[in-house]
Copies of this chain bind each other. A is one copy, B any other.
Amino acid sequence: MGEPFRHNLRVRYGECDLQGVVFNAHYLAYFDTSLNELLRAAVGSYRAIHERGIDVVVAEAQLRFHAPARFEEELTLEIAVARLGTTGITTTHRIAREDELLVDGMLRHVMVDLKTLIKTPIPDWLRQQLEPWTVEPA
Contacts and interface: CB of A to CB of B under 8 A. Distances in A.
| Chain B CB within 10 Å, residue with most, of A20, A29, A36, A72 | A29
A33 interface: yes
A47 B18 CA distance: 12
Interface in A11-61: 12-14, 16-20, 23-26, 28-29, 32-33, 36, 40, 45-47, 55, 57-61
Contacts of A14: 17, 23, 25, 29, 32
Contact of A16 (B18, B64, B117): B18
A86 interface: no
Nearest to A30: B25
A130 interface: no
A65 B72 contact: no
Contacts of A57: 19, 65, 68
A105 B108 CA distance: 14
Contacts of A13: 17-18, 23, 32-33, 36, 46
Contacts of A12: 29, 32-33, 36
A111 B133 CA distance: 38
